[in-house]
Structure 1
Amino acid sequence: MSVAVGHAGEEEGRRANTQQQTLNSKHSTPLNEPSARKHEETDFSFSSHNHSTANMTLIEKITSSLLLAVILPSALAMPAQANDSKDTAVAVAPAMACDCHHNNDAGRWRDPEMGPSGRVAWLCSQGGGCYTAERGRMCVTGDMSQCGCATQSARDWESWHQDWFLWSSVTCGKLSVTITSPP
């Protein structure tokens, strides 16, 4: 019986020694070895499932999150810019395909109430017509269903240089916006 107890004690001692060596090897692995990094990264993962972020360190996760938080909103906020050429097509929204064009002659506009795009929208709301400002006369005629495109194009193309400027002729389908201004 004492022999059996001796073998059981030796066996138990060997198991304890093996477990201690396993624990020591896990904690004494240099940090630059892949097995150490895997253990370190696993400690920072938020679930036991193997996601693509499970292989990222905490610093990489934070950096990626901050980068997305900074870049994504500014990228989404950037408007599409119109190209100022004779055959520019401006899309206001995916549902509204615009086909607007302008000449290359700037019309000067001075209106204490609103800029050219605001006046285009106002004239459209009146069913078209003309409006004489302090400097410049604007007329909107034709297919009023194109007013959204004309207003957006005017907003994209207008500029301020001590007076408002917009191309003297803008057409969107069968809608026409003209600005004439005295010399």
Structure 2
Amino acid sequence: MTRLRQLFCNNTLTNMAKLELDAEALYRALAEKVKAALGSADRLALVGIYSGGAWLAERLAAELQLDGRLGFIDVSFYRDDYAEKGLPASVKPTQIPFEVEGATILLVDDVLYTGRTTRAAINELFDYGRPARIVLAALVDRGGRELPIAADFIAATVELEASETLLLQRADDGSFTLSIKHA
């Protein structure tokens, strides 16, 4: 078994600079977990966090056949470090085209790190109503939590240096790639 396959089987990846992550394989693993657990959930809706989480949520919603039950959220104004970081160059409007009140919301993000983005997304969701339940799916959990937040569904856990970040990208054909950026 190759080192990469061993790492994927363990769902923990280390020495990331030497490995290339297969984002499509990670997406398939995440999608299978979500379908098995939530495929028949009552009043299920997906909300993707811009930008990577939104891309993942679009594909998941199509696979789960959730017509009209897909939303997108931009947490820029809800982050507790807004004053420190400022606004990103491209703020997108939040779009929640369904009734949040009483729904089971699958919140989708690409990389779970400190937990601050997830907290901001939950705060914003409550501005639209009180969901019955919020569950979190992330393609990759890189640890380093600053808030007590954990994903219900993850495809892999990775260990990175503090100066490294994971970047999910989507090609024109909709396929995903995941790369490591060094600061």
Larger RCO (CA within 8 A; separation ≥ 6): 2
Larger Rg, first or second structure (1 or 2): 1
Q: TM-score, normalised by structure 1?
A: 0.23
**Structure showing the higher strand proportion among its residues:** 2
**Structure showing the higher helix proportion among its residues:** 1
